[in-house]
Amino acid sequence: MGKKKTDEEDFFDPFPEPVVLPIEDVLDLHTFSPREVEPLLHDYLEACREQGIFQVKIIHGKGTGQLKDRVRRILAKHPHVLAVADADPQAGGWGATTVVLKQQENGYD
């Protein structure tokens, strides 16, 4: 009798290494699970500051408002966030949040 294959052995991963995406001034949370949101936001905001991006838009959608509330609670505690507001109506309105980040001065906060 031969060895039985597992499903993982049959799976071909076209991206065996992590895929590095460019950091932009917009983050759409629609493709992420709720448990990923907090660490994602922290990593994203840090990466933006490192790239010299100090105003970003986070798209959370309108829905029931739960994700927006969670995003706002996370941002309210983040040490590098200066201001938070609903996006302009043409940029998503209350389905997106505009965030202004503190700029680094001489490599320090």
Give the end-to-end CA distance of the chain in Å, rounded to a whole number.
Answer: 64
CATH class, domain 22-101, is: alpha beta
Single out the residue of 64, 7, 6, 51 nearest to residue 25, CA to CA.
Answer: 51
**Which range has the worst mean pLDDT, 20-24, 58-62, 74-78?**
20-24
The per-residue pLDDT for 4 is: 54
Say what the pLDDT of residue 70 is: 96
What band does 85 get if pLDDT is binned at 50, 70 and 90? very high
Q: Does position 65 have pLDDT exceeding 80, yes or no?
A: yes
Task: Read off the pLDDT of residues 12-43 as tens digits, 9 standing for 90 and up.
Answer: 767 677 767 789 999 999 989 889 999 999 99
Tokens describing residue 13: 């991963």
Say what the pLDDT of residue 19 is: 65
Mean pLDDT within 36-52: 95
Sorted by sequence, the CB contacts under 8 Å of residue 108 that are 6+ apart come out as none
Residues facing residue 27 across a β-bridge: 58
Q: Six-digit token pair at 87?
A: 């996006």
Residues 6+ apart with CB under 8 A from 29: 37, 40, 58, 59, 60, 61, 67, 71
What residue spans define the domains of the chain?
22-101
Q: pTM for the whole thing?
A: 0.76
Rounded Cα distance between 96 and 26, Å, is 10
What does the pLDDT look like over 95-104, one tens digit per residue?
999 999 999 7
